[in-house]
Chains A and B, each alone.
Chain A
Amino acid sequence: MGEAALHKQAPATGEAPRQPGGRPLLKVERLEVAYGEVQVLWGIDMEVYDRQVVALVGSNGAGKSTTLKAIAGALRPRAGRIIFDGEDVGGKPAAEAVRRGIVLVPEGRQLFAGMTVHENLMMGAYARRDGMRAIREDLDWVYSLFPELVKKRGQLAGTMSGGEQQMCAIGRGLMGRPRLLLLDELSLGLAPVIVDRLVEIVTRIHRERNLAILLVEQDLNVALAMAQRGYVLETGRLVKAGTAEELLADESIRTAYLGI
């Protein structure tokens, strides 16, 4: 598939990925994950470089969320390696992953419904040791990204609309000052106009901060609007990889989703 060449290609935005020695920030090797006895991933290889946005797409049940959860430390791999910034983090607890700078914005938001927006955002900074000043700076930045949340900072997170909750969830994730942000199914259940706004925000986040983003989306179009590269999963196996343009133009992607 010529994967090595694909991974190193310059992204469409024209920004060269920062590659210290050409090493990827995240490297996933032959990853296998199972829920008890039900195996969901059958050996995935992926690379995400610093300051890249990579999309992981595929039909439901393909194992996209599972991949993110394994990277985030929420699931133990059955086999394979997850190498972040040169160190093997596979199987280490989620708190470890956060400490190293891997932050997951989970599917379905999973906000602390009984806490306010502000409290949720502050919880995102829970594991940080770099002092209140840095945290405050990040908080201001998050509120600048999501002006809608400023008004609602005292509101209980569970009472907000889906779109607002998603923004709060992303904000909470950003408060962890991640080096790798994992976004799981941003667009799920949201109206197109809100999804467009989120796409805008994610693009802005990528522009303003030094972080890599790995996002999972079932909606191919939304995914490739934000990403420079993409991987296509089908029933736990990688079937395609390429730049955003290549994937968008690829007729046979439909087969990966629909089986025929």
Chain B
Amino acid sequence: MAERPPLLVGRGVTRYFGGVAAVQDVDFEVRAGEVLGLIGPNGAGKTTLMNLISGLLPLSRGDLVFEGRSLKGLAPWDIARLGIARTFQIVKPFAGMTVRENVAMGAMFAREGHGVPARQALEVADEVLEMVGLADRRHSYTDELTIALRKRLELARALALNPRLLLLDEVMAGLNLREVGQLMELVKSINARGVTIIVIEHVMKAIMGISDRLVVLHYGRKIAEGPPQAVAQDEKVITAYLGRRFGQGKGA
């Protein structure tokens, strides 16, 4: 596969909470059009990294460069307008608004030049809902949806922003096997439309199945990166997940 140009580059990304580094000196890059999986044991700093990229947390050190622009110091809404959308681990659709209105929000506040006024936004929302398979529930209120549908809604809202980069934070959590499969297909189809995706997941089969490349974090540091097969055999990764001495002498 020819090298794609980098869409997002992280250089020395560091974030401290008090004296503890949740993320330390992480260098990484996300190439245009790929699905990058972000994995690592509990407390590795994955969600922190996602919060740094989406602007909910400021960088302690280092820089994040998106399409040549530094994200340092930008507010979350500015980052969203640049074309980076994210979902949350605990899905939080806007209560008190219908499914359609939730998704319309994304269309209203989308990337520069793609935002539309309120009335049009509802129509754009309909298109997105069609794409994710929620069209028949568009007038429902969010508390009427099952968890699997709420995840789709979360995804739809992010898509309505017309992002170049989509951050998915544990979007498979709580879904049964069939639902995981369905959502994986949806994520693949979104990627096929040219949206670059960074995924955090604990459902390992899923993330291994959809990622082009993986970055592995452990205690805030990057310990490995590469294609899924290679990473799964990396001694450091195995040690991180399964423990000391388990990884020794195994694989690469």
Q: Is the CB of A220 within 8 A of B147?
A: no
Q: Is the CB of B243 within 8 A of A221?
A: yes
Q: Is the CB of A61 within 8 A of B232?
A: no
- Smallest beta-carbon distance A80→chain B, Å: 15
Which of chain B's residues has its CB closest to A189's CB? B43
Which of chain B's residues has its CB closest to A185's CB? B42
Summarize A's interface: helix, strand, loop or mixed.
mixed
Which of chain B's residues has its CB closest to A35's CB? B174
Q: Is the CB of B42 within 8 A of A258?
A: no
Q: Is the CB of A37 within 8 A of B202?
A: no
Whether, in the assembled complex, A257 has its beta carbon less than 8 Å from a beta carbon of chain B, the answer is yes
Whether, in the assembled complex, A166 has its beta carbon less than 8 Å from a beta carbon of chain B, the answer is no
Within 8 A of B (CB), among A141-187: none
Q: Is the CB of B202 within 8 A of A235?
A: yes
Q: Which listed segment binds A: B56-64, B117-125, B203-211?
A: B203-211
Q: Which listed segment binds A: B69-77, B93-101, B181-189, B234-242?
A: B234-242
Q: Which listed segment binds B: A5-13, A38-46, A87-95, A120-128?
A: A38-46
CB neighbours of A253 from chain B (8 A): 242
Q: Is the CB of A257 within 8 A of B241?
A: yes
Kindly state the separation between the CA atoms of A79 and B119 in the bound complex, as whole angstroms. 46
Q: How big is chain B's contact interface, by range?
A: 20 to 34
Whether, in the assembled complex, A209 has its beta carbon less than 8 Å from a beta carbon of chain B, the answer is no
Kindly state the separation between the CA atoms of A234 and B144 in the bound complex, as whole angstroms. 30
Q: Is the CB of A258 within 8 A of B203?
A: no
- Smallest beta-carbon distance A179→chain B, Å: 28
Q: Is the CB of A259 within 8 A of B174?
A: no
Beyond A218-B42, A257-B204, A260-B208, whether A59 also contacts B232 by CB under 8 A is no
- Smallest beta-carbon distance B8→chain A, Å: 24
| Size of the chain A interface, CB-CB below 8 angstroms | 30
CB neighbours of A201 from chain B (8 A): none
Kindly state the separation between the CA atoms of A257 and B207 in the bound complex, as whole angstroms. 12
Whether, in the assembled complex, A246 has its beta carbon less than 8 Å from a beta carbon of chain B, the answer is no
Beyond A61-B202, A218-B42, whether A258 also contacts B208 by CB under 8 A is yes
Kindly state the separation between the CA atoms of A223 and B243 in the bound complex, as whole angstroms. 9
Q: Is the CB of A259 within 8 A of B41?
A: no
Q: Which of B150, B170, B228, B245 contacts A221 (CB 8 A)?
A: B245
Kindly state the separation between the CA atoms of A7 and B206 in the bound complex, as whole angstroms. 31
| Chain B residues within CB distance 8 Å of chain A | 41-43, 146-147, 150, 170, 173-176, 202-209, 228-229, 232, 237-238, 241-246, 250
21 contacts between A and B (CB under 8 A): A37-B150, A39-B174, A39-B175, A40-B174, A59-B202, A61-B42, A189-B43, A192-B244, A218-B241, A218-B243, A221-B246, A223-B243, A248-B246, A254-B232, A258-B204, A258-B208, A258-B232, A258-B237, A259-B204, A260-B204, A260-B205
